[in-house]
Amino acid sequence: MKRTIWAGLLALVLIGSLGSQSIAVEPATSIKSAAEPWWKHAVIYEIYPRSFADSDNNGMGDIKGITSKLDYLKNLGVDALWLTPCYPSPQVDFGYDIADYTAIAPEYGTLADFDELVAEAKKRNIRIIMDLVMNHTSDKHLWFVESSSSKDNPKRDWYIWRDGGGDTMPPNNWLSLFGHSAWKLDPKTNQYYYHFFYAEQPDLNWRNPEVRKAMYDVAKFWLDRGVAGFRLDAIGTLFEEADLPDNPVLAGKNKFGDPNMDNVHNEKLNEVHDVVRELRTVVDSYPDNRVLVGETSARDINELSLTYGKKLDEFQLPMNFFFAFVNKLSAPEFRTRIGEWDKNPAGGWPLYLFSNHDQIRHYIRYGDKTHNDQIAKLTATILLTLRGTPLLYYGEELGMENNDPKSKEDVQDPIGKTGWPDEIGRDGERTPMQWNSELNAGFTAADKPWLPVTPSYKKYNVVAEEADKNSILNFYKELIRLRRTDDALVNGSYQAVDVQNKDVLSYVRKGEKKSVLVALNMTPESKTVQYDLKPYGINSNSAKTLLASPHNTPSSANLRNLTLPPYGVFVGQVQ
Ligand code: GLC
């Protein structure tokens, strides 16, 4: 059975001496206000290192592989790379189980390789954002090895240890997001430890000041090496209520066969804000506007607003999926989501994304199987013309799709093994990057990549798409070029227009002199729109075409009678 979306499970807000190595690189855009931090106008690109490029042909991607592709990324128009974890790890959760926070996994390279990546990226004005997993470590981390060695070990209190609730009973009814009890009995000391994710990912005790200091030191280690900031993993689960009250049980069962549960006592506790503020102070003590991106899956805009901090002193860029999970081409739904985020109560800067390593790729989430390529261009247009920072997931610029495992035996992601067939895991969206139409899509010369390439690679790959002027890749490049160079797309406010239209999503990026109108037909039929933009201070009746797809629109368009083909995209200049 096809899973819906993994993060649907994620009903949670995954919300010394300071070095001063400068990472000053050029602005992320060619037109922008000097006072603005780079991340407001950056295009951020997520890389899953294991799947991007394999330099030593062992079937897994690595750091040198990423470095070898920097020219491609530069050419695409990327300003910053978010690398999912590449620290030493038993790879139970493919890097999200960290065994050493201040080194690079040997299978991905060395610290010297990492330093080279930062330096080579900097030459191309590309910054590196690291993934920081603060909620838990690997059970192979020395901290946990020590902590579990005896009840009186000095690191015992670095993790959450409790006595059982009776014969063979865990301390309470809390469940792991990845299935079954969140407690595991350790026979050595006959106590249970708490793990919100896999049992191999024990939760750290964030009420212990030594833990806090150790993790802030980790942050400084990477900031000193020149990273531009962090994406903070699973931030909403840092704290649990100390007296461990049972969570309310809801009706029905989840994909692992466990009862549904409302995690009121072990998620989104207020103390999370203190930690994010503390880390922000660390990050802010470095020059060059280092950034905190948060994995914050808020339920709604009010909850999301809290993650910016009361004084905008927490996340600069909290992530959220209520935009990505519209999951149907609905003009009213997108209008609502964008409007809310653009005018969020905190006044925070929006971060828009459609896909990541935990979600089914949006090429197929939105695709109707007939117009998928055109729909990919339409979603790209939304992402890259809004007032906010776009976050791309590697390969979306090619129209990469999922390649889901066909049987339980093929699954690599442990949740797919525990939850099969209702939960098939996340392998499908983590397949190798499609570089060319040759063996293994040019990802590796090994016989077998760690995950099989998606069969669509013969057509959807970098080499083929660079040569095709109508490709999805060239459309992304053109959009990124426009958002860098058009003053209204850089600085303009966002204004929804034609707001009653159920089929066509239209908005204006209102600049000082010139503005940009974006019109997106979200239906499989042609649609004609009549605009009156006078109420928005725009008097022209025609628009100069900046970008249109399919490519059949003349150099200007009549705003009183603009016809958009099925899933047609029009971006035009108005004044
Ligand atoms: C985040 C990551 C996910 C990981 C989990 C546990 O949600 O995005 O991939 O499995 O945290 O670290």
Which token pair is 397? 């610029």
- Residue type present at position 371: H
Q: What is the CA radius of gyration of the chain?
A: 24
Structure token pair of residue 469 = 């002027």
Which pLDDT does position 28 carry in this prediction? 56
Taking alpha carbons only, the member of 182, 103, 95, 90 closest to residue 139 is: 90
Mutate to test the pocket of ligand 1, among 82, 87, 358 (most ligand atoms within 8 A of CB): 358
Contacts of 70-74 spanning 24+ positions with Cβ under 8 A: 70/117, 70/120, 70/121, 70/124, 70/126, 71/124, 72/462, 73/45, 73/124, 73/126, 74/124, 74/125, 74/126
* pTM, rounded to two decimals: 0.95
Residue 473 CA: distances (Å) to CA of 107, 131, 364, 469, 483: 30, 26, 17, 9, 15
Catalytically annotated residue among 54, 93, 233, 314: 233
Ligand 1: centre distance to CA 142 (Å): 21
- Would you kindly state where each structural domain of the chain is located, as residue ranges? 12-136+209-239+271-481, 142-194, 493-574
Question: Which pLDDT value is given to residue 366?
Answer: 97
User: Cα dist. 309→231, 318, 322, 346 in Å?
Assistant: 16, 10, 19, 8
Reference 565, options 397, 377, 423, 355; nearest CA is 377
**Distances in Å between the alpha carbon of 154 and those of 118, 145, 203, 365, 526?**
36, 12, 17, 49, 69
Look at ligand 1, atom 7, and give the residue with the nearest C-alpha. Answer: 234
- Helix and strand counts by DSSP (H, E) for the chain: 14, 21
Say which CATH architecture domain 12-136+209-239+271-481 belongs to. Answer: Alpha-Beta Barrel (3.20)
- Among 197, 201, 418, which is best to mutate for testing ligand 1, by the most ligand atoms less than 8 A from CB? 197
Rounded to the nearest angstrom, the distance between the alpha carbon of 210 and the centre of ligand 1 is 24
Which pLDDT does position 373 carry in this prediction? 98
Q: 142-194 in CATH: which number?
A: 3.90.400.10
- Integer Cα distance of 542 and 18 in angstroms: 55
Q: Which atom of ligand 1 is nearest to the CA of 426?
A: 9
Give distance in angstroms: CA of 358 to centre of ligand 1: 7
Strands (E), 48-166: 80-83, 127-133, 161-162
Count Cα neighbours of 516 within 13 Å in the Cβ-side half-sphere: 27
**Residue 401: active-site member:** no
Cα 233 to ligand 1 centroid, rounded to whole Å: 6
Residues 6 or more apart from 409 whose CB is under 8 A from it?
none
Cα–Cα nearest to 3, from 293, 218, 312, 254? 254
Choice from 15, 91, 93, 131 to test ligand 1 binding pocket (greatest atom count within 8 A of CB): 93
Place of tokens 């025609």: 542
How far apart (Å, rounded) are the C-alpha atoms in residues 66 and 83? Answer: 10
What is the torsional sign of CA 461, 467, 472, 476? positive
Query: Cis omega (within 30 of 0) on the bond before 245?
Result: no
For domain 493-574, give its CATH number from 3.40.190.10, 3.30.70.100, 2.60.40.1180, 2.40.50.140.
2.60.40.1180
> CB 220: neighbour CB atoms within 10 A?
17
**31 near 487, Cβ under 8 Å?**
yes
For residue 315, give the nearest of 303, 327, 307 by alpha carbon: 307
**Ligand 1 centroid from CA 352, angstroms:** 19
Number of Cβ within 10 Å of residue 541's Cβ equals 15
Cα 395 from chain centroid (whole Å): 13
Q: How far apart are the first and last CA of the chain?
A: 51
Protein residue with its CA nearest to atom 9 in ligand 1 = 358
* Nearest atom (ligand 1) to Cα of 10: 7
Give the separation between CA 174 and CA 183, rounded to whole angstroms.
Answer: 8
Parallel, antiparallel or unpaired: strands 229-233 and 542-549:
unpaired
* pLDDT of the residue at 321: 87
* H helix or E strand, kind and range, residue 4: none
Return left, alpha or beta for 335; rule: phi > 0 is left, psi -120 to 50 is alpha, else beta: alpha
The Cα–Cα gap between 406 and 414 comes to: 15
C-alpha 181 – ligand 1 centre gap (Å): 18
Atom of ligand 1 nearest to the CA of 357: 9
Number of the ligand 1 atom closest to the C-alpha atom of 356: 8
At 1, list the tokens: 């059975």
- Give residue 468's pLDDT: 97
Looking up tokens 């009653």, which residue turns up?
500
Catalytic choice (295, 373, 478, 486):
295
| C-alpha neighbours within 13 Å on the C-beta side of residue 296 | 29
Nearest to 230 by CA among 270, 275, 176: 275
Q: How many residues does the chain have?
A: 575
From residue 480, how far is each of 70, 157, 485, 565 by CA, in Å? 16, 49, 9, 23
- The encoded tokens of residue 123 equal 């030459």
Show the ligand 1 pocket: residues with CB < 6 angstroms. 14, 93, 96, 133, 197, 233-234, 295, 357-358
pLDDT value, residue 551:
73
Alpha carbon nearest to ligand 1 atom 4, residue: 96
Q: Mark whether 243 is an active-site residue.
A: no
Rounded to the nearest whole angstrom, what is the distance from the C-alpha of residue 425 to the centroid of ligand 1?
A: 12
Q: Whose CA is nearest to atom 2 of ligand 1?
A: 233
pLDDT attached to residue 323: 87
Under a CB-based contact definition with an 8 Å cutoff, are residues 443 and 61 in contact?
yes
One pLDDT digit (tens) per residue for the chain, 575 residues = 344 444 444 433 333 333 334 444 544 555 655 579 999 999 999 999 999 999 999 999 999 999 999 999 999 999 999 999 999 999 999 999 999 999 999 999 999 999 999 999 999 999 999 999 999 999 999 999 999 999 999 999 999 999 998 878 999 999 999 999 999 999 999 999 999 999 999 999 999 999 999 999 999 999 999 999 999 999 999 999 999 999 999 999 999 999 999 999 999 999 999 999 999 999 999 999 999 999 997 889 999 999 999 999 999 999 988 888 899 999 999 999 999 999 999 999 999 999 999 999 999 999 999 999 999 999 999 999 999 999 999 999 999 999 999 999 999 999 999 999 999 999 999 999 999 999 999 999 999 999 999 999 999 999 999 999 999 999 999 999 999 999 999 999 999 999 999 999 999 999 999 999 999 999 999 999 999 999 999 999 999 999 999 976 679 999 999 999 999 999 999 99
| DSSP symbol at 477 | H
CA–CA separation, 201 and 215 (whole Å): 16
Distance CA 178, CA 199 (A): 9
Q: Helix (H, G, I), strand (E, B), or coil: what is residue 351? A: strand
